[in-house]
Every structure is written in structure tokens, then in C-alpha cells.
């Protein structure tokens, strides 16, 4: 549904999947169902689509289609859930790693810097860790690393110190209290960008997004048939780096390893040397497409 979330680079994603009509596909980020509907449109009656989403709100977007199996789980549990449904190998896997417009627009979820709400940021409302707990309980060193690595915040050390000092006086409960507490750290004229980086860091930690992504990529490579396609769309450099490294080197850090004969040891082969980006026309219609990077790989 477009009012839930406008799917980004939908045609490029379909091209990347190169759908076989009778094949089996997985959309690990169902959300508003835009990409899933496009996959179903390309599938024959014998085709199958497995869709994952841990956000309960996503289930209201499910189409009535007997080719679709919906799994209300995080994609870090990809392989086991597919096996539970008798699926050992698939022809293609799609992941759109962005937070949906719907989640940003729901004030009570605490994802957006625009609204005053509880510091929550859980993609899965039943998980235990919230942004409020991080802000009020993490040590200064842990906060420093979190904002420096996940948010790439320039003054992460000062920011961590400021949060610690502020919470000694009063527990930080809401996004407006948090913004007030860190006001002196925010560079003049760059308020929106800075807050977006800070909120991104908290959201990544709350949902363990980078750890989940690594587990997903490793399982996706195992689940794909030889010749199967992996299509991953990311929205910030931390995610894109992990995706790129795994496709090009078969691991997240270090150099590409080779076997005795000089052949690369990695499960995937990149289809494009560079990430695919959205057209100017699409960016005009959907601002979220501006930061999207799409990478496509084939199982060796």
C-alpha cells in the first residue's frame, strides 16, 4: 500500500530477481507489500513467495493469495523458518533494509525526530530493549562507541558525556526530553542531519540491525540455488558496506581468500560492479529513494 510505504526501485528489484514464473522467492522485508505484490505479479500459479516481517502492522497489508506464505519473524531467522515450511532452496531473495514510511509516521513508535513520543524505536514491539533503556543505562564508553560507529556522529564523545550528565538530574523518557538534553551538542544549521544520525544509531542498536543483516546474508547464500539471485537495497553506508563486502569477498571484513588453484572462496558473484541508484524522476516522487543503494548478486 502506497500510504504505508512507497516501494523504492521496484522495477530494478524485479530486474535483479530475474523471476522464473514457477520459482520460489523470499521477500524478507514485507512492510507495505509493494515489492511482494510485484513478485506475485510475475509468478505463475505454481510459483511461491515467502514473506517475512516482524512488525505486526505489516500483516494488515497481506494480499489474499494462496501462493504467499507470511512469517512474522525477523529475517535473521530466514533459513529455519523456510525449512519449517518445507523450503530448502529458493530461486531469489529480496531485502529492502529501510525503515518504512509508516513506521516513521507513527509518532508513538519513536523512530522520527519530528514527533514527541516515548524513546522506543523497536521494529518488533514485543522485543525488550528500547532506546529509552539505552539512553538511561548504557555507560559513557558504550554510548560513545554506539554514536561514533552506528551514527558516524562527529562529536560522539561529547554527546555521550552530555547524556550521562543530563540523566543524573532526570530520567530521559521522550524524544523531546532527549533532544533538549543534547541541545548543546547539535551543530547550528545542521540540526536535522545531526539528529537523524543520532536517532539512526539508537535504532540500529535497539534492533541489532547490523548483526541481523550479517546473519541474514550468510543464510541467504546457503538458501539460494546455484544461479539464484540475491537483491539487497540499503539506505546507509554501514549496511551497504556489509552487503558489498559479503558479495565481493564472502565475508564482512578482511581480504578475499582464494583456494589452492587461485579461485576465489565466496558464495556469490556481483552482477553490477557499482550499486544501482534510483533515477532522478523517482527521487522527485519519493525522497527516500535518494539514499537507496541496490546490489544484486548470483549464487555461484
Q: What is the mean pLDDT of residues 146-156?
A: 97
Quote the pLDDT of residue 56.
87
Residue 115's pLDDT band, with cuts at 50, 70 and 90, is confident
Quote the pLDDT of residue 105.
54
DSSP SS3 for 147: helix
What is the pTM assigned to this prediction? 0.93
Quote the pLDDT of residue 274.
96
Quote the pLDDT of residue 239.
96
Cβ atoms 41, 68 nearer than 8 A = no
pLDDT for 5 beyond 90 = no
Quote the pLDDT of residue 124.
86
Helices (H), 170-264: 175-181, 191-207, 209-223, 237-249
For residue 178, what is its C-alpha cell? 532527549
- How many whole angstroms separate alpha carbon 3 and alpha carbon 286? 12
The CB density around residue 266, as the number of other CB atoms within 10 Å, is: 19
pLDDT for 27 beyond 80 = yes
Write out the DSSP string of 95-125: EE-SPPHHHHH-GGG---SSS--BS---SST
pLDDT for 174-190, tens place per residue?
Answer: 999 999 999 999 999 99
pLDDT for 1 beyond 80 = no
What DSSP designation does 287 have? G
The CB density around residue 257, as the number of other CB atoms within 10 Å, is: 11
Give the DSSP H or E segment for 12.
helix 10-17
Q: What is the mean pLDDT of residues 185-199?
A: 95
Give the rounded percent of residues in the chain with a pLDDT score beyond 70: 93
Per the model's pLDDT, the better-predicted residue between 263 and 111 turns out to be 263
Query: Which CATH number describes the domain made up of 10-101+209-299?
Result: 3.40.50.150
pLDDT for 54-104, tens place per residue?
Answer: 988 899 999 999 999 999 999 999 999 999 999 999 999 999 998 755 455
pLDDT for 107 beyond 60 = no
Q: Which of 62, 29, 25 is nearest to 43 (CA)?
A: 25
- How many whole angstroms separate alpha carbon 265 and alpha carbon 289? 33
pLDDT for 206 beyond 50 = yes
pLDDT for 41 beyond 80 = yes
Quote the pLDDT of residue 260.
96
Residue 2's pLDDT band, with cuts at 50, 70 and 90, is very low
Cβ atoms 104, 97 nearer than 8 A = no
- How many whole angstroms separate alpha carbon 40 and alpha carbon 23? 11
Pinpoint the residues of the chain covered by CATH 1.10.150.170. 112-207
Domain 112-207 top-level CATH class: mainly alpha
Q: Which of 247, 253, 239 is nearest to 267 (CA)?
A: 247
* Rounded to 5°, angle at Cα 7 from 276 and 275: 10
Mean pLDDT (the chain, rounded): 93
Pinpoint the residues of the chain covered by CATH 3.40.50.150. 10-101+209-299
DSSP SS3 for 150: helix
- How many whole angstroms separate alpha carbon 36 and alpha carbon 29? 9
Cβ atoms 103, 85 nearer than 8 A = no
Q: What is the mean pLDDT of residues 160-166?
A: 98
Amino acid at each position: 500500500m502506497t500510504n504505508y510505504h512507497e516501494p523504492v526501485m521496484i522495477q530494478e528489484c524485479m530486474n535483479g530477481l530475474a523471476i522464473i514464473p514457477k520459482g520460489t522467492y523470499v521477500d524478507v522485508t514485507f512492510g507495505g507489500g509493494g515489492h511482494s505484490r510485484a513478485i506475485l505479479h510475475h509468478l505463475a500459479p505454481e510459483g511461491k513467495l515467502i514473506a517475512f516481517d516482524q512488525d505486526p502492522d505489516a500483516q494488515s497489508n497481506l494480499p489474499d493469495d494462496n501462493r504467499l506464505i507470511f512469517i512474522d519473524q525477523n529475517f535473521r531467522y530466514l533459513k529455519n523458518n523456510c525449512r519449517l515450511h518445507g523450503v530448502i532452496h529458493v530461486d531469489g531473495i529480496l531485502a529492502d533494509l529501510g525503515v518504512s514510511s509508516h513506521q516513521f509516521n507513527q509518532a508513538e513508535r519513536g523512530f522520527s525526530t519530528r514527533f514527541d513520543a516515548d524513546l522506543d524505536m523497536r521494529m518488533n514491539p514485543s522485543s525488550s530493549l528500547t532506546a529509552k533503556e539505552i539512553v538511561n543505562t548504557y555507560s559513557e564508553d558504550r554510548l560513545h562507541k554506539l554514536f561514533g560507529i552506528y551514527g558516524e556522529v562527529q562529536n560522539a564523545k561529547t554527546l555521550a558525556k552530555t547524556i550521562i550528565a543530563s540523566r543524573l538530574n532526570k530520567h530521559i523518557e521522550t524524544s523531546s526530553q532527549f533532544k533538549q538534553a543534547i541541545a548543546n551538542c547539535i551543530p547550528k544549521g545542521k540540526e536535522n542531519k545531526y539528529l537523524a544520525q543520532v536517532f539512526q544509531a539508537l535504532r540500529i542498536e535497539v534492533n541489532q540491525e547490523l548483526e541481523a543483516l550479517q546473519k541474514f546474508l550468510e543464510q541467504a547464500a546457503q538458501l539460494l540455488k546455484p544461479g539464484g539471485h540475491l537483491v539487497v537495497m540499503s539506505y546507509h553506508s554501514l549496511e551497504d558496506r556489509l552487503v558489498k563486502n559479503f558479495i565481493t569477498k564472502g565475508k564482512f571484513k578482511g581480504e578475499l581468500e582464494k583456494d589452492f588453484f587461485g579461485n576465489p572462496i565466496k558464495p556469490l558473484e556481483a552482477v553490477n560492479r557499482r550499486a544501482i541508484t534510483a533515477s532522478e524522476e523517482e527521487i522527485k516522487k519519493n525522497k527516500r529513494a535518494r539514499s537507496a543503494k541496490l546490489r544484486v548478486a548470483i549464487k555461484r
